Chain A
């Protein structure tokens, strides 16, 4: 009985989904930016974990009731923390995350520059005898 009901609900959900492709696109766009906490390296859009399904339904419902993407993201962050966002916000605790790669790049450029600069071949130093030989050869 429960299974039949679930199946019916599933098809009903599908029917609603088919009714409004633009809403469905917004749901997918938003779901693509949110991490599924059950299977942490997938988005809510990709994952078929029950929680991801529930959260997609939440997004659909809230968008349909006129909430904005921003409000829904805040709703998710209030419950699951910044970790749900695939694009973390720039905050004091995430500065290292955002600035780190650029600092490493600068460090790399600096090291590279120093090594290249150092490796420049030294001016050839000739002994007196060699200078004389060279002078003779050049005559």
Chain B
């Protein structure tokens, strides 16, 4: 009887740790999912005299990808972002975060520019409004301008295929 209890507690503990230790503490659930995308009106990275706002994308399903030339994981996910943009499933807007034009523009020239356009958030203020804390981050925003999904850290082909594409298809299909 007593051995039964010892084993039961042991198994319960192993179960708890097996689940708990596998959770990623870096993945903090964003309170922004399901809420309207925070407002911004920022100069374009490539053309400082022009501005772009999230409002300009109302009526379209789109991807907001936060990147910077100083961020190695951004380079890592770049092929995935490029493939996603090339697939034509949704436009990808870049939010160039706390970067400098003289570094960001050559970075795009070197690695290719999959973005429809990139906005330039040099102080990272819009980043704060979007709850950015681990560049790169990726948001899916629907036709009504509501954030439907957020991914923190580099996108992998697996996430693009299993999470982003089905969601984008679903959102685009819905009239």
Contact = CB atoms under 8 A, between A and B. Distances in A.
A38 B131 CA distance: 12
Contact of B128 (A2, A40, A55, A77): A55
Interface in A1-26: 2
B129 A79 contact: yes
Interface string A77-95: 1111111000000000000
B129 to A, nearest CB: 7
B128 A79 contact: yes
Contact of A40 (B25, B30, B32, B131): B25
B31 A54 contact: no
The interface residues of chain B, by DSSP majority, are classed as loop
Given A37-B134, A38-B134, A79-B131, A54 B28 contact: no
A2 B31 contact: no
A79 B26 contact: no
Interface residues of A, number: 16
A50 interface: yes
B128 A38 contact: no
Given A2-B100, A79-B32, A54 B134 contact: no
Given A2-B100, A50-B98, A80 B133 contact: yes
A64 interface: no
A37 B28 contact: yes
B133 A38 contact: yes
A81 B134 contact: no
B29 interface: yes
A48 interface: no
A80 B25 CA distance: 14
Interface in B9-48: 25-26, 28-32
A36 to B, nearest CB: 8
20 contacts: A37-B28, A37-B133, A37-B134, A40-B26, A50-B124, A51-B124, A54-B123, A54-B124, A77-B31, A79-B32, A79-B128, A79-B129, A80-B28, A80-B30, A80-B131, A80-B133, A81-B28, A81-B29, A81-B31, A83-B28
Given A79-B128, A80-B31, 16 more contacts: A2-B100, A37-B133, A38-B133, A38-B134, A50-B124, A51-B124, A51-B133, A54-B123, A78-B31, A78-B32, A79-B31, A79-B32, A81-B29, A81-B30, A83-B28, A83-B29
> 10 tightest A-B contacts by CB?
A37-B133, A79-B131, A81-B31, A83-B28, A80-B131, A51-B133, A54-B124, A38-B133, A81-B28, A81-B29
